[in-house]
Amino acid sequence: MPPTSSKPDYGIDAPGVVRLLLAIGLLLLSLGWFIPQVRFGPVILVLGPMAIGSGLLLIVESILMIVYSKWGKFRHRDRMLAMLDWKGDESVLDVGTGRGLLMIGAAKRLQTGKAIGIDIWSVKDLSGNSMEGTLRNAELEGVRDQAEVQNGDATAMKFPDASFDVVLSNLCIHNIPTKKARDQACREIVRVLKPGGRAIISDFIHTAQYVKAFEAAGAQASPTGADFLLTFPWLRIVDVRKPS
């Protein structure tokens, strides 16, 4: 049996996208270098600078996504969690927990409370995404007793109404393919929040749509500006408050 790492692993977000950007970027660099121009009869089409520039841009984007996965998302998580006034007894739900980044971060702020993470465990959205990996991270981070993971669909949560003081989610809802289903996920988040509860939702697209869906479900929702420093793609946070 191979040795088990003693360090938590929170994976690479959108690993397929990272690989694709890098592969196409390297291909364009090669084409620009080895085939700088193409002749069509009397017309000469200069490809080199355009291909090299595009290739470099894609490679930089792939590197920025890796930097976010290995460094930026931890700072972004801390920014999200710092928006809440923790008392230590909260019941917390992390929707699309992945390898448990938000769930474990929340669990570290709890004494008598509990953090639950749900996911469908798609490895397309996060490398090595599995329930076992998430539980392993919770154990390594020293919060196994404060954390629980479950299989769960954001559009049809199994929890009763008003179950949680806090709901968290990062880079999850945009993976739901239709607007109707994304709106349903937002309604579910409001439904499982206790009166007076807060949801902190982060994503890089559709955040204006989320605001409308949360408000239609009876909550107050306000977006932050995009985080150009710590995240790539650039993320916005939606702060959701359910009336008491």
Asked if pLDDT for residue 5 goes beyond 70, the answer is no
- The SS3 call for residue 92 is strand
Q: Write down the CATH number for the domain with range 83-241.
A: 3.40.50.150
Residue of 125, 126, 91, 106 lying closest to 197 (CA atoms): 91
User: Is there a contact between 171 and 227 (Cβ–Cβ < 8 Å)?
Assistant: no
pLDDT per position as a tens digit, 135-170: 999 999 999 999 999 999 999 999 999 999 999 999
pLDDT per position as a tens digit, 97-147: 999 999 999 999 999 999 999 999 999 999 999 999 999 999 999 999 999
- The pairing of beta strand 37-40 with beta strand 43-46: antiparallel
pLDDT at 1: 36
Domain ranges of the chain: 15-73, 83-241
Q: In which region does residue 243 sit, left (phi positive, over 0), alpha (psi from -120 to 50) or beta (all else)?
A: beta
pTM for this model (two decimals): 0.92
% of the chain surpassing 70 pLDDT:
95
pLDDT band at 34 (very low <50, low <70, confident <90, very high): confident
pLDDT at 3: 45
Compute the C-alpha angle 181/186/189, nearest 5°: 125
